[in-house]
Structure 1
Amino acid sequence: MSTSPLDYSQDPPRSQYDLIIRKDKPFNAEPRIQDLVKHYITPEQFMFVRSHGPVPMHLNDSHIITVQGGENTKEFTVGQLKTQFKKYHVMMAMQCAGNRRDGLHRVKHTKGVIWGAAAVGNTTFAGCRLRDVLHAVGVTSFKNDLHVAFESVEQCEETPCYGSSIPLCKALDEFGDVLLAYEMNGKPLTRDHGYPLRVVVPGYIGARSVKYLKSIIVQDHESTSYFQQRDYKLLPANVSCEAEAEEYWCKVPAIGEFNVQSFVCSPSHEEEDTIKASGIMTAQGYALSGGGRGIQRVDVSNDNGETWQVANLYQPTLTTSAHIWGWCLWTLKLEYKGYPIVSRAVDSAGNVQQEYPVWNYRGVLNNSWRTVNL
């Protein structure tokens, strides 16, 4: 654990955001849920910010990243990564592992920032492929027991710096689209989103997309970082405190790909009187799945789950990409019946969203129905 107070006095200004602050220091914020589905590509104004400590303010294109693969080690500046490697683009849903933690917290105490359902966004990133950089240090093939560990310069409350890892097979996958990104939505990364360089791992929880990258190491074990070994794991439902969690940290795997899920973002509670008067409402929401799986169907119910209607989907990459990393937006006109609206999603692999909540001590990735009580 960090033993000295962290200095947040140099954090960047944040007037450009229209976000709800969930924690001030470190800065963690998300948009209002109705704003989230106004755009298929989430603008910076509405993109959630997840921080574990003060924002590094001393980094630029001369910042050095060390890449170690076996016996070979090379150093690259951010500027060299921009000029020596081909630039690629990927559109992906970036989701905090704690998205929707507030629903869990209402039922059982959870640890971490109490996020609503908007700690997610759909953005385009640009940068060089991690695969190409690993090839440059001689890493061209993988064994299933190898991992790629990332370390950040970000100081954290829990540990001196942030770290995480992914399987090497994901990093080297020609269609895995893992990038060392320096742009978001066609512009240089902002400091809150990882300037000058971050990892982006499509289809995985955001905790694996390490910001302010300092080093990349191919090794025969997962990252030993606090955030890989003692955080971002799903513990058994009976675990209710830190002492009980001790038995399970080494037994439970770290979360990688996220599950299929959907959420009803509108109508809002403020629209209740108008909806009652007209008798008709338009429900809107998002759906997404990990692992490159697109959304096949979203079902919506306005009669307490007795009957379901199929929503209209907007997922333009469904027929143009080998893998679907972006989210799906959905809409459906419904008759007002006085019941909560609920939704459930099915992905392209046939995985069906869980219809009942999964409670656990960490409070991550709740995939229960989302209801709007009108």
Structure 2
Amino acid sequence: MSSSTLDYSQDPKRPQYDLIIRKDKPFNAEPHIQDLVKHYITPEKYMFVRSHGPVPMHLNDSHSITIHGGINTKQFTVQQLKTQFKKAHVMMAMQCAGNRRDGLHRVKHTKGVIWGAAAVGNTTFAGCRLRDVLHAVGVVSFKNDLHVAFESVEQCEETNCYGSSIPLCKALDEFGDVLLAYEMNGKPLTRDHGYPLRVVVPGYIGARSVKYLKSIIVQDHESTSYFQQRDYKLLPANVDCEKEAEEYWCKVPSIGEFNVQSFVCYPPPTQNDHDMNKFILSQGYALSGGGRGIQRVDVSNDNGETWQVAKLYQPSLTTSAHIWGWCLWTIQLEYKGYPIVCRAVDSAGNVQQEYPVWNYRGVLNNSWRTVNL
């Protein structure tokens, strides 16, 4: 759908946000990188906003979602989900798959919103477990070839509405913590963040956490949505345009979990040398997908010749079997005139790769550059 035919006149006002606007219509914005590590739980004013079209305005607690669970089809209003199912909580890092796209865009033209390194945040969500809702419609076991597809009411620039899917095994996992969320950070979802109901999929790229949920379908294939089949996939490095990509869309899998990564948030890359003290407290974030925590973050102030181990802050909810939240790190360093760089290791021993693999749209293989470009 062309952006010229979409009506943005009813989008919410956003005076409370202290964000860098990366695109006005649809609204896409992220915080200043140094603000990102001021809080372990990211407040709404510093939480990035990813939109594909106008923010739906007609939704409330009477909004209903349809669930197709094979032979059973049921409808629940948001209010029924709140009252008929046990409330659960999850603390998780939400990250746009295009986070840090600006690094590639400096050396190679990319499609999509040109994000910095702050299209990520760590929040708490509350809602009912998707697992419980699927059980209520008779979906109690899974086969490895089944998927749960989500459809949104959000009209998009690229297609009629937003859609995505995850494997059914993730949705039914007792420890997968997938929610149909109606609260963020202890308050009702705002319109920018999915009011009145969204999916949240811990450990997966944000593209799978569908906002403004309309329907859930259990099926024997991935979502046929544009955003599952023709976006958020890793194509060979030689693919440079849409025409060359045609051969590969049906051959490569969609991105699900993200890999281990880290970034230096302070000092920010825009800070001048003459503003630096001899000793500085450097700060940043690290995270990994799949419920893996961060084991170590190494930091270098001499162009990678030597590395020092940073101090980590990574509390987790005691009710969760996995660590879905991010890790904040700090270290006192002598400033030597080089960019400060970092690398992370997660609890499975996966080491952050030094160079990223990109597709032509600037979506990362979640193996990240360790420097502030």
- Shift of residue 358 of structure 1? 1.9
**Distance in 2 (alpha carbons) for counterparts of 1:161 and 1:269:** 37
SS at 2:368 equivalent:
coil
**Distance in 1 (alpha carbons) for counterparts of 2:139 and 2:367:** 41
- Shift of residue 362 of structure 1? 2.2
SS at 1:149 equivalent:
strand
CA contact (8 A) 2:352 2:367 kept: yes
- Shift of residue 356 of structure 1? 1.6
Q: Which residue of 2 aligns with 1:195?
A: 195
**Distance in 2 (alpha carbons) for counterparts of 1:318 and 1:130:** 19
CA contact (8 A) 1:2 1:160 kept: no
**Distance in 1 (alpha carbons) for counterparts of 2:365 and 2:151:** 28
Distance 1:373 1:10, change over 3 A: closer
CA contact (8 A) 1:311 1:331 kept: yes
- Shift of residue 318 of structure 1? 8.2
Where do residues 1-374 of structure 1 align in structure 2 (5 Å cutoff)?
A: 1-2=1-2, 5-269=5-269, 271-273=271-273, 278-317=277-316, 321-365=320-364, 367=366
**Distance in 2 (alpha carbons) for counterparts of 1:250 and 1:271:** 44
- Shift of residue 203 of structure 1? 0.2
Which range moved further: 11-20 or 1-10? 1-10
SS at 1:83 equivalent:
helix
Distance 1:175 1:45, change over 3 A: same
SS at 2:5 equivalent:
coil
Distance 1:318 1:352, change over 3 A: farther
TM-score norm. by structure 1 comes to: 0.96
CA contact (8 A) 2:89 2:127 kept: yes
Once superposed, what is the RMSD of the aligned Cα atoms? 1.6
CA contact (8 A) 1:355 1:367 kept: no
Distance 1:127 1:6, change over 3 A: same
CA contact (8 A) 1:258 1:365 kept: no
- Shift of residue 111 of structure 1? 1.3
Distance 1:293 1:69, change over 3 A: same
Distance 1:9 1:93, change over 3 A: same
- Shift of residue 272 of structure 1? 3.9
- Shift of residue 110 of structure 1? 1.4
- Shift of residue 341 of structure 1? 0.8
Distance 1:70 1:2, change over 3 A: farther
SS at 1:199 equivalent:
strand
Q: What does the per-residue CA deviation read over 1:64-91, in whole Å, with 9 as the maximum and x for residues that have no partner?
A: 1001111100000000000000000000
Where structure 2 has 5 or more consecutive residues not aligned to the other structure, the ranges are none
CA contact (8 A) 2:37 2:328 kept: yes
Q: What does the per-residue CA deviation read over 1:247-266, in whole Å, with 9 as the maximum and x for residues that have no partner?
A: 11101110000110000001
CA contact (8 A) 2:234 2:365 kept: no
Distance 1:212 1:269, change over 3 A: closer
Distance 1:52 1:315, change over 3 A: same
CA contact (8 A) 1:282 1:332 kept: yes
Distance 1:366 1:263, change over 3 A: farther
- Shift of residue 126 of structure 1? 0.1
CA contact (8 A) 2:151 2:162 kept: yes
- Shift of residue 359 of structure 1? 3.2
Where structure 1 has 5 or more consecutive residues not aligned to the other structure, the ranges are none
Identity of aligned residues (%): 90
CA contact (8 A) 2:19 2:30 kept: yes
- Shift of residue 282 of structure 1? 1.3
- Shift of residue 363 of structure 1? 1.1
Distance 1:48 1:3, change over 3 A: closer
**Distance in 2 (alpha carbons) for counterparts of 1:38 and 1:134:** 38
Which range moved further: 355-364 or 167-176? 355-364
CA contact (8 A) 1:286 1:330 kept: yes
SS at 1:282 equivalent:
strand
Q: What does the per-residue CA deviation read over 1:175-225, in whole Å, with 9 as the maximum and x for residues that have no partner?
A: 000000000000000000000000000000000000000000000000000
Aligned residues: 370
Distance 1:321 1:71, change over 3 A: closer
Which range moved further: 31-40 or 332-341? 332-341
CA contact (8 A) 2:301 2:338 kept: yes
**Distance in 2 (alpha carbons) for counterparts of 1:41 and 1:202:** 15
**Distance in 2 (alpha carbons) for counterparts of 1:113 and 1:13:** 21
**Distance in 2 (alpha carbons) for counterparts of 1:284 and 1:254:** 32
CA contact (8 A) 2:91 2:317 kept: no
- Shift of residue 100 of structure 1? 0.4
Q: What does the per-residue CA deviation read over 1:270-308, in whole Å, with 9 as the maximum and x for residues that have no partner?
A: 6545xxxx4111110000000000000000011111111
SS at 2:104 equivalent:
helix
- Shift of residue 2 of structure 1? 4.8
CA contact (8 A) 1:343 1:369 kept: no
Which range moved further: 262-271 or 69-78? 262-271
CA contact (8 A) 1:148 1:171 kept: yes
Distance 1:271 1:247, change over 3 A: closer
Q: What does the per-residue CA deviation read over 1:337-363, in whole Å, with 9 as the maximum and x for residues that have no partner?
A: 111111000000010001123232121
Distance 1:366 1:217, change over 3 A: closer
Distance 1:151 1:352, change over 3 A: same
CA contact (8 A) 1:264 1:370 kept: no
**Distance in 1 (alpha carbons) for counterparts of 2:318 and 2:264:** 25
Distance 1:351 1:320, change over 3 A: farther
- Shift of residue 321 of structure 1? 3.8
Q: What does the per-residue CA deviation read over 1:29-71, in whole Å, with 9 as the maximum and x for residues that have no partner?
A: 0000000000000000000000000000000000010011111
- Shift of residue 373 of structure 1? 7.0
Distance 1:141 1:267, change over 3 A: same
Distance 1:320 1:162, change over 3 A: closer
**Distance in 2 (alpha carbons) for counterparts of 1:92 and 1:349:** 18
CA contact (8 A) 2:292 2:346 kept: yes
CA contact (8 A) 1:340 1:371 kept: no
SS at 1:45 equivalent:
helix
